Amino acid sequence: MKTKFIVIEGCDFTGKSSVIEKLVETLKNSGVEACQMKALGETDYGIARRKFLMENKETLSNEEQTDIMIDAIQDMNKKLVIKQRDAIFVVCDRYWHSTLVYQGICQNALEMVENKLSQANLIEPDLTFILDCQTSVILQRMKARAETNAYDPKDRNEVEKIRNAYLTLSQRKNTTLIDTTNLTVEQTVEKIMGFTS
């Protein structure tokens, strides 16, 4: 299996967590040493930076938020280097793509974010999968989730803004869009596995 580092991205409530968990399980069951990583919650430092962001989002400028995001991902990359050295297949829950969406496209600051990312020397994923589903489905799932964070969409307009940003991002190299609206977790994982062999 050539692919060693893939990213699962997309708007909240598109099934990322369930797909990542099942994908790692499927890889392991097929004899591949695999693990899950989180762009902003993989290290103690990254967890602290994420907590600071969530608690101070309203008082931080967009550029400051971008710097904190990139800083946390750079710290996560130190751990990723070790995983790659040990030939472990890494499935990452979000990566720099989220920063491009939330701090870049959605804030009309794409050039600023891309400039900062270009200087960050982050490890490039082999493949990125953007999970998408209909806005109405996302809104239904939003109502069912009790716990939310500062970056979760608040209404239909925010959902569509974020979805459209990810749809724009899906046109980039080594990026695949998967519409999960009518797919089970298992069917979504099967699609991803088809690209990783």
| Helices 16-29 and 185-196, axial angle in degrees (round to 10) | 60
DSSP at 58: T
Residue 39 pLDDT = 92
Q: Helix, strand or coil for residue 183?
A: coil
> What span, in angstroms and rounded, lies between the C-alpha atoms of 70 and 160?
25
Residue 150 pLDDT = 66
Per-residue pLDDT of the chain (197 residues; tens, 9 = 90+): 566 999 999 998 999 999 999 999 999 999 999 999 999 888 999 999 999 998 998 999 999 999 999 999 999 999 999 999 999 999 999 999 999 999 999 999 999 999 999 999 999 999 999 999 999 998 888 887 766 666 777 788 999 999 999 999 999 999 999 999 999 999 999 999 999 87
Residue 128 pLDDT = 97
Q: Helix, strand or coil for residue 31?
A: coil
> What span, in angstroms and rounded, lies between the C-alpha atoms of 133 and 71?
30
CATH 3.40.50.2300 for domain 5-192: no
Domain boundaries of the chain, sorted by first residue: 5-192
Residue 3 pLDDT = 66
The partner residues of 37 in beta bridges, in order of sequence, read 92
Cβ count within 10 A of residue 114: 14
